[in-house]
């Protein structure tokens, strides 16, 4: 069951590796809590009290509202899939209202802080080629609006970069993003210094031993750099993507164009940046207006 569920998420739904791991783990916890010998039909008949008990157990482990909401979403998806597997495509998972989650605004960094982060991370690197690598990755996030997973999954076959780049994002959706000269030059500098052969069908960014570069390595490097620069904990690699969107919107980009550049499936995901921009303007007003 878990293997079929995993394959469905990975291939049929094309969910991100992080989502696949989380939804797979949720299904595994549910099956562990139930008596042995479950079938798709028995899962399809599970009702809301079972889900409540499962969430209560997770709450007892200390998870918060955000994690509980995600857990409930994963449980509903798994049971809906079970009903389809049991031959009940019209049936739906039990109705349950999840915990309220206050959706926070993205926290972008300033243009100067974005550049300083990339510079500080590269200065802190142990080797010259690693410095070039980390700078190239961060400039792809800020200069092209890529998610960190998108940047690290780029094949070496994209070299040499041109004026645009084809990016495969969430759900297998593809988009074309423009590449600034500074980003193009930074990636070219890394490609010239990396000590490993960059075969076209292999990943572009490599770890210290030549394997795929892990997100955690970039996240740790940025964490060290933000401490050195006195930046808040919200200054993460993903904040550079938020900064890309916020700064473009502030410079006059329209929402539809921004949606295409970010690879959002829904315009509602992009509209949150209008609130960020309005909040920034309000902060400026409050600090600058003599009667504020």
Catalytic residues: 147, 170, 238, 241, 264, 273
Measured CA to CA, the distance from residue 117 to residue 232 in angstroms comes to 12
Task: Output the CA torsion sign for 227, 232, 238, 240.
Answer: negative
Q: Give me the helices (H) in the chain, please.
A: 2-7, 17-33, 40-44, 48-60, 65-85, 111-123, 128-144, 148-152, 181-193, 215-229, 237-250, 255-262, 267-288
Q: How open is the CA angle 255-15-265, to the nearest 5 degrees?
A: 15
Q: Please say whether the beta carbons of 203 and 152 come within 8 A.
A: yes
SS3 212: strand
Non-local (6+) Cβ contacts of 42 within 8 A are none
Phi–psi pair at 175, nearest 5 degrees: -145, 160
Q: How far is CA 70 from CA 38, 66, 74, 162, 232, in A?
A: 23, 6, 6, 39, 26
Q: How far is CA 97 from CA 51, 57, 126, 222, in A?
A: 11, 17, 50, 37
């Amino acid at each position: 069951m878990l293997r079929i569920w995993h394959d469905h998420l990975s291939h049929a739904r094309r969910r991100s590796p992080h989502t696949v791991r989380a939804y797979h783990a949720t299904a595994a916890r549910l099956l562990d809590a139930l008596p042995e010998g479950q079938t798709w039909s028995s899962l399809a008949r599970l009702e809301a009290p079972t889900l409540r008990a499962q969430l209560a157990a997770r709450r007892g482990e200390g998870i918060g509202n955000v994690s509980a909401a995600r857990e409930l979403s994963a449980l509903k998806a798994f049971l809906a899939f079970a009903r389809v597997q049991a031959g009940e495509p019209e049936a739906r998972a039990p109705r349950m209202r999840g915990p309220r989650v206050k959706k926070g605004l993205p926290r972008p960094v300033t243009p100067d802080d974005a550049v300083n982060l990339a510079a500080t991370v590269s200065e802190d690197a142990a080797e010259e080629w690693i410095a070039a690598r980390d700078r190239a990755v961060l400039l792809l996030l800020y200069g092209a609006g890529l998610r960190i997973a998108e940047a690290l999954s780029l094949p070496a076959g994209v070299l040499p970069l041109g004026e645009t780049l084809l990016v495969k994002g969430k759900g297998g959706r593809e988009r074309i993003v423009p590449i600034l000269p500074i980003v193009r030059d930074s990636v070219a500098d890394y490609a010239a210094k990396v000590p490993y052969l960059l075969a076209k069908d292999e990943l572009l960014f490599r770890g210290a031993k030549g394997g795929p570069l892990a997100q955690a390595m970039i996240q740790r490097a940025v964490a060290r750099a933000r401490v050195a620069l006195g930046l808040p904990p919200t200054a993460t690699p993903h904040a550079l993507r938020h900064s890309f969107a916020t700064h473009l919107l502030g410079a006059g980009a329209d929402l539809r164009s921004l949606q295409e550049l970010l690879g959002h499936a829904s315009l509602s995901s992009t509209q949150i940046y209008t609130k960020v921009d309005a909040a920034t303007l309000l902060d400026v007003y409050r600090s600058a207006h003599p009667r504020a």
